[in-house]
């Protein structure tokens, strides 16, 4: 993702669902979850601050993920998504399963939005 300051680019996607998975921290072998982060989460903050009106997207969902498997490992089997991502029995999903679930059946699942 390139850094966006809101003066260049398009921030109007009225027929598009946008879901973001951002690493809040990175797994480390010592158990402290203080692994090396890159700048993708702060860049995402700069990008998403340009969405100030709900009419700019069909749906916008930003998820903080903990225990990422590497600096961009939000969609991994050890990553921990927000607590609302659970299976049919109420068991928490891992990052990979949560991303797949959101894409196929979640709030912002991949669906066709016809023109008004």
pLDDT on residue 1: 47
pLDDT on residue 113: 64
In the chain, where are the structural domains located? 13-105
CA distances from 18 to 68, 78, 99 (A): 20, 23, 12
pLDDT digit string, tens, across residues 66-113: 998 888 889 999 999 999 999 999 999 999 999 999 999 888 888 776
pLDDT on residue 87: 93
pLDDT on residue 38: 79
CB atoms within 10 A of CB 89: 5
Q: What is the mean pLDDT of residues 26-52?
A: 83
Q: What pTM does this model have?
A: 0.79
């Amino acid at each position: 993702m390139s850094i966006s300051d809101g003066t260049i680019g398009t921030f109007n996607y009225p027929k598009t669902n946008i879901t973001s998975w951002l690493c809040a921290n990175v797994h480390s072998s010592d158990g402290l979850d203080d692994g090396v982060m890159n700048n993708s989460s702060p860049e995402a903050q700069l990008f998403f601050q340009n969405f100030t009106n709900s009419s700019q997207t069909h749906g916008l969902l930003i998820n903080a993920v903990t225990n990422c498997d590497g600096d961009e490992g939000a969609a991994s089997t050890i990553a921990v998504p927000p607590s609302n991502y659970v299976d049919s029995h109420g068991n928490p999903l891992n990052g990979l399963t949560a991303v797949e679930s959101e894409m196929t059946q979640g709030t912002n699942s991949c669906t066709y939005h016809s023109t008004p």
